[in-house]
Amino acid sequence: MKTIHIILIVVIFSLLGNCKKGPSKSAYDSMRVDIAYKDKLGNDLLDPTRQNHFSSDSIHVFNVVNGIKKEVYYPNYDAPHNFVIYKNDSLKSYYLKLFLETDTTLLVLNKTITDTVTCTSEKSNGNWILIKAWYNGVFECDGGYQTFTIIK
């Protein structure tokens, strides 16, 4: 009988230990934008082989809620800072996939460039859905998963 109680206690504690703080990524998966960055000559600013590219090490994401900014960091997630840089081989371009959790997100690309992504969203079937998004005040997309290019 003691063995059953011990096993039950171990199972309960192991289940409690697996809880994560922060929002579920699946809840925000449809709240994302994929952004390509190019210079005026069309060079890919996310390409790690290019000098002066935007490096994932220098990029920081801040959620803004009620005027207070808080840096995003979920150490147990695949994208702990709410972004991933990936290469789209068919388009021959790198993209920054940015997960949006709040109406206003600050995207620090390096020490001198901070951009603002604002969006409207609604909850549908338990998931948040992106309705519209603006990048530095310029309308970029209307609904769902979107890809756009920013010229720097």
Tens digits of per-residue pLDDT, 39-85? 999 999 999 999 999 999 999 999 999 999 999 999 999 999 999 99
Contacts 24+ apart (CB under 8 A), 69-76: 69/106, 72/101, 74/20, 74/21, 74/22, 76/20
Map tokens 């390409």 to a residue: 47
- For residue 51, which of 63, 43, 40, 42 has the smallest C-alpha distance? 43
pLDDT of 2 above 90: no
Spatial distance between the Cα atoms of 34 and 23, rounded to a whole number of angstroms: 20
Is the model's pTM score more than 0.85?
A: no
How confident is the model at residue 69, as a pLDDT? 97
Tens digits of per-residue pLDDT, 89-115? 999 999 999 999 999 999 999 999 999
pLDDT above 90 coverage of the chain, percent: 69
Share the mean pLDDT of the chain.
84
Reported as a pLDDT band with limits 50, 70 and 90, residue 143 is confident
Spatial distance between the Cα atoms of 37 and 113, rounded to a whole number of angstroms: 13
What the block records as the tokens of 102 is: 């709040």
How confident is the model at residue 35, as a pLDDT? 97
* Cα dihedral 75→114→69→139 (10° resolution): -100
